[in-house]
Chain A
Amino acid sequence: MTDLSPRLPVRTWLAVVSRLFAMQGAFNYETMIGNGIAFAMEPALRRLPGGPRGSAYAAALGRHSGYFNAHPYLASVAVGALMRAELDGVPAAQIDRFRVAAAGPLGSVGDRLVWAGWLPLCSAVALLAYGLGAAPLTVLLLFLGAYNVLHVGLRVWGLYVGWTHGLRVARALDAWILRRGPAHMGRATALVAGVALPVAAHGIIGPGRAMLGTVLAGVAVGAAIVTALRGKAEGWQIAIIGLLGFTLYGVAP
């Protein structure tokens, strides 16, 4: 049986993968990451009939630089699937329908998995390592190593499954880590952050340790205030007001 699937040279793959990391380079409120999608796909689109001066290349590039919004890491799924669809000669209307349908799931799954799951989890692990006395370089390597295993892995895996399944990539999004990963990461983040917060705070409090009981009471009250004010003000904004007042009091003649 002959394999009719298109093939891309290694240098084209390398160009596409490297461009994935600049996906949000021109992020804006009108086309979101649309231009980034076209930018990442462009090396592969040069393989369309007629090359970079052909009408197929021009039509594809124009189509993909329009509005598109998804999580920047999982957008690689769309890049792979759309590259495959274009090189397979799938009708434009079908490609457009896929672009509309894919954006939402790739955004919400990525947000829950990475921004609300993996990133705070890695952050908590690094805070815990600091609190337990790890050296600065160890803390950095632990955080960056752990975080980027998933980060780089998601970009490369997404491109691979997108390219492999084309517009039928929805079945690949049924992967265990995408379905169940966010919930497990949420619980792991809660547990590790729960351990890390007091241990790391103890590490940075230095001379303030003499007031530990007062600090603990203040943390409980402060967290309740920040939670109660959610939607009206962010915690860091409330902190600016509090610390500014404290600093002015501290330097008053």
Chain B
Amino acid sequence: MKLIVNGEAHEIDAATLAELLAALDYEGNWLATAVNSDVVHTAERAQFKLSDGDRIEILAPMQGG
């Protein structure tokens, strides 16, 4: 399945958002996720089914002004 993760194309087999995070070695409760510009909350990731072509954003705390 082709997925766009943080702007980069990945060919990866991941049925859910939680599986995608595990496959790409993302972990920790400081991450925020969105699929196709809509927020997916932490508790929803294990049930959130991914589809071919989905655009996923994975964000973390960063310095800001």
> Does B associate with A?
no
* Residues in A lying within 8 Å of B, measured CB to CB: none
